[in-house]
A and B are shown apart, each in its own frame.
Chain A
């Protein structure tokens, strides 16, 4: 088995957001994995993701963010349903976070389309975030 995690982050360095398509059941797995989440098959191939999705909900990490994200908090963190029907959670850009009233207003405008973007993560690797269109 090839190192999947390494390859995914290498793809991000090249500007590509990749997932894995199951050659047996056709499901797209994102993030990639060693066996299909739907049918458990190992018969998977790399595919480029559309980068399109729908932001369902978001809140803000500020009181107890993950330890390595303390220096970049507060930030919006949300749930995105990708066009390929995978649920993904990450930082969300382009949504208001400065007060509870703003977060409430921002959420009232959801679901809304978002577009994937590759940015520098915390720890020297690239990561995927979503930006409200």
Chain B
């Protein structure tokens, strides 16, 4: 059996809004991809000449102005005439692509593969201009109209489907299962958001980096306590019992990962082994079974048990995932995650660190690029390059979970290479 390949390079743009955020302002889809890929090439010490294949993720052609994304990006990535293809499993695409690239490398045909994805969620090109630089802000309603094409439209969507209400139901399910009162649940959700912002405030690539912590924001908004700010009209219910700030921050951006079977040829940095990978998909209505399968398969492949995990990354487009997904992953026992979070154990300096980048609330959610941003954080943490939010204990096993609308679940297990 061939050896597991390694992640040898990672890159990502600043996540933000291409209409406003200085680092990515006025960049097109291809330019976002190239910026992330170039950082990854440099991080790995590899030339595009040595990239044997590339996989490109992008969910919304309405905003990127691109289908056939691999042909539209090959030359921008320095990969003209290399084999490449578009891969799409919605918001877990970059992780799915890591798994697929892993298998491609293990087939023996490829040595080095680039996984890259980009998404624009805050603006779209004016239909009359058909020009990527002539853009209009994208309303959440219109963004979700396009995003919801991931949901069954034969039946599911026609039956009053709403992402907002589902978020509420998801929160309620955790609340009821654990016999939490609304007040207790709300306090946990506030703590999760404080963690999200606390981590994002240390991450210059995060959309909300400049906005600082939730406590700082509360003060700026004229509130003497963060609790009052949390419960104010500035943070209405997205759908009871879940408030707006517990949802996602839509972002534009790109991420890139390079996998290789021969890390020592390119880099002296710690290679990160892709030790396990599993994915499962199904359509509406969801009962949670795909998630269980993806975790089980990836743990089995990597030969790990939940108690071996030193770092967990969960797909937190709904911040409730810090609760329910961490328990499904076995990182916490059923019914224990909310207590651990209230005790501060999931912060970078806690004993059970999770989502230390700031996740989809803090870094922001650039749909198909966001799983790559999670991998970016894992690699930086495992190498000891995470700066002020560096996890002190060594990470021997890291697990990354992502969910693609609606629903594709991917889970990967990483270990430090030798």
State the A residues within 8 Å of B (CB). 5, 8, 31, 57-67, 69-70, 72-73, 75-79, 86-91, 100, 103-104, 107, 121-123, 125, 127-129
Which of B157, B168, B182 is most buried by chain A, counting CB atoms within 10 A of its CB?
B168
Q: Inside 8 A of B148's CB, which chain A residues have their CB?
A: 66-67
Q: Inside 8 A of B162's CB, which chain A residues have their CB?
A: 61, 64-66, 69, 73, 77
Is B172 within 8 A of A66, CB to CB? no
Cα distance A20–B237 when bound, in Å?
38
Is A62 within 8 A of B144, CB to CB? no
Cα distance A122–B162 when bound, in Å?
13
In the complex formed, the residue of A with least CB distance to B146 is A67
Which one, B155, B166, B171, B237, contacts A100 given CB within 8 A? B237
In the complex formed, the residue of B with least CB distance to A32 is B155
Query: A89-B285, A107-B172 given as contacts; is B166 within 8 A of A77 (CB)?
Result: yes
Is B176 within 8 A of A64, CB to CB? no
Q: Inside 8 A of B345's CB, which chain A residues have their CB?
A: none
Is B240 within 8 A of A88, CB to CB? no
Contact-residue size bin, chain B (C-beta under 8 Å from the other chain): 35 or more
Interface residues of B in 199-233 (CB under 8 A from A): none
Query: A57-B169, A104-B182 given as contacts; is B142 within 8 A of A63 (CB)?
Result: no
Cα distance A66–B244 when bound, in Å?
16
In the complex formed, the residue of B with least CB distance to A31 is B155
Is B237 within 8 A of A91, CB to CB? no
Cβ of B165 under 8 Å from chain A: yes
- Closest 9 A/B residue pairs (Cβ): A59-B168, A61-B162, A77-B165, A67-B145, A90-B159, A31-B155, A61-B165, A91-B160, A59-B239
Which one, A62, A89, A100, contacts B159 given CB within 8 A? A89
In the complex formed, the residue of A with least CB distance to B140 is A64
A78 to chain B, nearest CB (A): 7
State the B residues within 8 Å of A (CB). 140-142, 144-145, 148, 154-169, 171-173, 176, 182, 236-242, 244, 284-285, 287
Q: Inside 8 A of B157's CB, which chain A residues have their CB?
A: 66
Which one, A58, A89, A122, contacts B156 given CB within 8 A? A89
Cα distance A61–B167 when bound, in Å?
10
Cα distance A31–B173 when bound, in Å?
23
Is A127 within 8 A of B172, CB to CB? no
Is A60 within 8 A of B159, CB to CB? no
Query: A58-B169, A77-B165, A100-B241 given as contacts; is B158 within 8 A of A125 (CB)?
Result: yes
In the complex formed, the residue of B with least CB distance to A8 is B155
A93 to chain B, nearest CB (A): 11
Is B244 within 8 A of A61, CB to CB? no
The SS class assigned to the A binding surface is mixed
Q: Inside 8 A of A78's CB, which chain B residues have their CB?
A: 169
Q: Inside 8 A of A107's CB, which chain B residues have their CB?
A: 172, 176
Query: A89-B285, A91-B159 given as contacts; is B241 within 8 A of A60 (CB)?
Result: no
Q: Inside 8 A of B159's CB, which chain A residues have their CB?
A: 88-91, 121, 127-129
Is A87 within 8 A of B285, CB to CB? yes
A52 to chain B, nearest CB (A): 17
Which one, B142, B164, B171, B284, contacts A65 given CB within 8 A? B164
Given known contacts A66-B157, A77-B169, A127-B160, what 6 new A-B pairs fall within 8 Å (CB)?
A57-B172, A59-B166, A59-B168, A64-B144, A65-B165, A104-B182
Cα distance A6–B164 when bound, in Å?
28
A-B contact pairs, 27 of them (CB 8 A): A8-B155, A57-B169, A59-B172, A59-B239, A59-B242, A60-B239, A61-B160, A62-B239, A63-B237, A63-B244, A64-B162, A65-B160, A67-B145, A69-B161, A69-B162, A76-B165, A79-B169, A86-B285, A88-B159, A89-B156, A89-B161, A89-B169, A103-B240, A104-B240, A121-B158, A123-B158, A129-B160
Q: Inside 8 A of B237's CB, which chain A residues have their CB?
A: 63, 100
Cα distance A94–B21 when bound, in Å?
46
In the complex formed, the residue of A with least CB distance to B284 is A89
Which one, B154, B160, B176, B242, contacts A57 given CB within 8 A? B176
Cα distance A64–B236 when bound, in Å?
12
Cα distance A67–B142 when bound, in Å?
7
Which one, B158, B240, B284, contacts A59 given CB within 8 A? B240
In the complex formed, the residue of B with least CB distance to A67 is B145
